Amino acid sequence: MTGTLPSLGCSNTPVLKERGQREVFCGLTGIIWLHRKMQDAFFLVVGSRTCAHLLQSAAGVMIFAEPRFGTAILEEKDLAGLVDAQTELDREVARLLSRRPDIRQLFLVGSCPSEVIKLDLHRAAERMSAAHAPHVRVLNYSGSGIETTFTQGEDACLASMVPALAQTEARELLLVGALPDVVEDQALALLAAMGITNVRCLPARRSADAPQIGPNTVFALVQPFLGDTHAALLRRGARHIAAPFPFGAEGTSLWLQAIATEFGVAQDLFDAVTAAPRARAEKAIAAARQTLEAKSIFFFPDSQLEIPLARFLTRECGMTAIEVGTPFLHRDLLAPELALLAEGPVISEGQDVDKQLTRARAARADLTVCGLGLANPLEAEGMATKWAIELVFTPVHFYEQAGDLAALFAKPLRRRSLLAPLAPRMEAAE
């Protein structure tokens, strides 16, 4: 069961804004989940060997498929301006496309090196689109660590697609955000059971199914980090259905309810469709709640999922949030979440990592959610941590995954309580 609804929650809580050194992956990371979703797309990072290593090490442990991404390496002579990098890139892309006729969408992904030498990838994408149309559409976005944190890569990618979508006058629902196919199918099935069948997805699984867009399009976001995509869709005349995000039984119900209200679904039908999966979700969450109840949590800013997750963990799992850090706070998107999050935690935006580490060490929360680079040192200091990146790589949306989402947070606490009785013996043996 969820707590009573606070009227304003954290809506008016002053936000601690920090602009110092940050410890977050760059936007290239999004390629790892985007390439799995978009089956005829290819992501060509225009970057350095460092970028290639990041992708290979992140993807190497997580995928076993034919790669749909690669890196056009900028060599030292490119960086020094000794060769025409645009010509080199044209040649590289022509080679790739002749070898891979399955590619229908090509994304040129900018990186720190391409940004530093001011390589104009937008111009390159336009030139290549003209050369390879109609078989391949070439778009560009930046995943550079100078400009983006890790979930911003998906936002930049989706935002780059919006201006190229065809125009329509049809009244359609657009679901925005890359979900694993099986999870997306669950959402589509719930909506179809309510009679909402004119639904498209961005990104589509294949480019031939790309959504059209226009003044009668209404859209619902499935991820809280899609601020630029939200703005791009508004510019095309589409209207946003504001709602909490579909994490947990409550979040999923409120997200579905907002869409059902927009499409005039009768309350009886809504209740009939959602009752059983909601009950399953609540039961699954209850199992993890036994571990999470009354525990405290501290979020470093990483994925931009922090505020919706804090809402889920405090309202549905009985946790107490001490600090909820987010890289960016898009109020247009997060207002319904802030209204639900009970007053109490520090809400921080941006990062000054040393200051935040000092606060986290003082708080010594039962669980600290942070990036890989901070997790190991904090674990060594005896603090339980959760890697933020797992929350993006694991299916966690909607009713059927609500128990898994709660379990992700319960696991480090359970492991710690299982290991605790062994600790004195291990010390004695040393």
Residues that bind ligand SF4 (CB under 6 A): 26, 28, 47-48, 50-51, 54, 111-112, 143-145
Which CB sits closer to ligand SF4, 30 or 325? 30
Shorter beta-carbon distance to ligand SF4: residue 18 or 147: 147
Which run of H or E residues covers position 334?
helix 331-340
Instruction: Give 66's Cβ-side CA count (13 Å radius).
Output: 8
Residue 112 labeled ligand binder: yes
- Least spacing, CB of residue 34 vs ligand SF4, in Å: 15
Other Cβ atoms less than 10 A from the Cβ of 358: the count is: 11
124, 72 Cβ separation under 8 angstroms: no
| Three state DSSP letters for 238-271 | CEECCCCCCCHHHHHHHHHHHHHHHCCCCHHHHH
317 annotated as ligand-binding: no
Distance CA 340, CA 314 (A): 10
- Distance, in Å, from the CA atom of 77 to the CA atom of 84, rounded to the nearest integer, reads 10
Taking the least distance from each CB to ligand SF4, the nearer of 115 and 400 is 115
CA atoms 298, 300, 301, 304: torsion sign: negative
CB 241, min distance to ligand SF4, A: 34
Name the phi and psi angles at 78, rounded to 5.
-65, -45
Of 393, 394, 391, 345, nearest to 365 by C-alpha is 345
Return the number of the residue (41 or 51) whose C-beta is nearest ligand SF4. 51
Output the smallest distance, CB 147 to ligand SF4, in A. Answer: 9
How many residues does this entry show for the chain?
Answer: 430
Give the nearest distance from C-beta 232 to ligand SF4 in angstroms.
22
53 or 361: CB nearest ligand SF4: 53
Distance, in Å, from the CA atom of 279 to the CA atom of 412, rounded to the nearest integer, reads: 26
Q: Cβ 124 to ligand SF4, closest distance in Å?
A: 17
CB of 46 to ligand SF4, least distance (A): 10
Name the residue whose CB lies closest to ligand SF4.
145
Nearer of residues 26 and 165 to ligand SF4, judged by Cβ: 26
**Binding site: which residues?**
26, 51, 112
Question: Which residue positions form the known binding site for [4Fe-4S] cluster?
Answer: 26, 51, 112
